[in-house]
Structure 1
Amino acid sequence: MLVVTAVAAERDAVAAGLATAYGTADAAARVIAGGVGPAAAAAATARELALAEAAGNPYALVVSAGIGGGFAPAAPVGSLAVADAIVAADLGAQTDAGFVPVEDLGFGTGAHRPDPAAARALARALGAALGPVLTVATVTGSAARAAELAGRHPGAVAEAMEGFGVAEAAAAAGVPVAEIRAVSNAVGPRDRAAWRIGDALAALTTAFGKVPAALEVGPEHD
C-alpha cells in the first residue's frame, strides 16, 4: 500500500498509525509527502508507482490522505471523511451560465470512483462520513464558494488539494485508489483561529491504526 500525503506532518501522522496497526514501523506501508496540490501529488504518485513496478513489487492500493476541510453538517471539525468519489471540482470552464465540468467539454474525466464496497467498509470501520471528496487548486475561503461547491456536488463531505492528482496517477497505473481526510476546518469563510490542525492530525493517526484491518491489507502487500 502506498499512502500519499501533502506535507511531512501528515506523513508522520499516517506512519504513526500504521506502525501501531502492523506492530512495527518497518512493516508499515510506504508513506510519502508528495507536495501540495494536484500536480505535485500526481507527479510524486506516478514516480513511486513506476519505481515499484520496475522493481517487480507493484503496489496493490494507493491512498490519498491528510487533513482537509469538511462540509457541514456531514463532516464536522475533528471527524473523518472517506471518498466514494474523488472529484476535480474546479477542472472545467467558468462561463456566464456557470461552471462547466471537464466531461461536458469533452476533454476527459473529472472524477475517479474508488471501489464502492471497499469505500463503504472503510467508512464503517473509521466511523467516517462517506461521500464525494473534492479536489481544488484554490482552497475555499468564502460562504458563497462553499455553497456553490455543495450545490454542484451534492453530498460532498470534504475538500482537499491532492486527491484527484493521486487518483489520476493510480488510474494510469491500473492501481485501485482511496481517499481519507481528517477534518481540520469547515469549508467556508477562512478563519485560521477556528482550525484544529493538531486534532485532525491525531484523528489521522487513529484512523490509520484501523485502515489495514478495514481494507485487509497486510505488510506483505507494501
Structure 2
Amino acid sequence: MRLSAGPPYAPAPLRVDVLPAGVGPAAAAAATASALTAAALAGTPYDLAVSAGIGGGFARAALGSVVVADAIVAADLGAQTPDGFAAVTDLGFGTVEHRPPAGLARAAARAAGAVRGTVLTVSTVTGSAARTAELLDRHPDAVAEAMEGFGVAEAAAAHGVPVLEVRAVSNAVGPRDRAAWRIRDALDALAAAFGALVPVLATWEEDPG
C-alpha cells in the first residue's frame, strides 16, 4: 500500500497494489521481498504491506468472521525435541513473531468488525484435535492459522515496512472436514472487510517510535 503525497491539508490518495504471492511462507516472503525491492529502487516505496486471505479459525473466530492480527507468529519454525516443540527463539536465534502497528490493528479490527488476536503461520495445516490443542497451549491468544503472514512480515521487516494481516475464516482449525469449509463465504467476508478498511488505511499514520 502506498500513500501518495497530496496538496497540503488534503487527504492522501490511497494506492493499493494486489500481489498474488503463492502458498506458504517461503513463496509469500519471496514475492513480497521482490515487490518491496522493486518499489524501493523505483523511488516509490510502500508504506504498508498487508497479508490478506482466508484461513482456519480457532474457537474465538467463527466461520465467515474476519480476524486482524495483533501478532503474526511462525508456529512451526523450530525443532521437535523429546520435551516437545522448541521455537527457534528457544534455541537462541532467529525470530518467530512480528507485531503490526498496534493502533492500526485496533482501528482495522474496529472498522471491519473483526476479532483481534494472534494469527499463526504454519507450513502444514492443522488437521487433528491434538494438534489444535497443542497450538492453543503454546499460543493461547491465537484466533486463526494461515500459511503466508509470517513470510510477508519477514520481508516487510527487512525493508522497514510495517505489516498488517487480515484473514476471513473459511474453516475451523481441527479435524479436517472439507465439506464444512465455507470458502466462498469467507472470500465475500474478506471483500466486505476491505471495503470497510479503506478509510482506515487512507488516513493511517505510522505509530511513533
Same fold by TM-score, threshold 0.5 exceeded?
yes
Alignment match, 1:128: 114
In the alignment, is the contact (CA less than 8 A) between 1:141 and 1:189 conserved in 2?
yes
Aligned counterpart, 1:31: 18
What number of residue pairs does the alignment pair up? 193
Q: Are 2:173 and 1:187 equivalent residues in the alignment? A: yes
Selected match of 1:55 from 33, 42, 65: 42
Read off the aligned partner of 2:25 and give its amino acid letter: P
Cα drift, residue 210 of structure 1: 1.6
Q: Deviations over 1:185-218 (max 9, x none)?
A: 0000011000000000000110111222123359
Give the corresponding residue for 2:130. 144
Tell me if the contact between 1:125 and 1:210 (Cα under 8 Å) persists in the aligned partners. Answer: yes
Report how far residue 120 of structure 1 moved. Answer: 0.8
Match of 2:58 among 53, 67, 71: 71
More helix by share: 1
Gap regions ≥5 residues in structure 2:
3-13, 205-209
Q: Where has structure 1 moved over 4 Å in runs of 4 or more?
A: none
Query: For residues 194 and 87 of structure 1, what CA distance do their matches in structure 2 show?
Result: 26
The equivalent of 1:6 in structure 2 is none
Q: Distance in 2 between matches of 1:45 and 1:211?
A: 21
1:84 and 2:70 are equivalent in the alignment = yes
Identity in percent: 70
What CA deviation, in whole Å up to 9, does each residue of 1:101-130 have, x standing for no partner? 111111211000111111111111111110
Q: Which residue of 2 aligns with 1:101?
A: 87
Aligned to 1:14: none
Consecutive unaligned residues in structure 1, runs of 5 or more: 3-26
- SS at 2:104 equivalent: helix
- 1:173 pairs with 2:181: no
Per the alignment, residue 193 of structure 2 pairs with 207
| Aligned residues: CA RMSD | 1.2
CA contact (8 A) 1:121 1:215 kept: no
Q: Between Structure 1 and Structure 2, whose CA radius of gyration is higher?
A: 2
Residue 119 (structure 1) aligned with residue 83 (structure 2): no
TM-score (norm 1): 0.85
CA deviation string 1:76-110 (max 9, x = no partner)? 00000000000000001111101111111112110
Tell me the TM-score normalised to structure 2 length.
0.90
Whole-Å separation in 2 of the counterparts to 1:102 and 1:216: 36
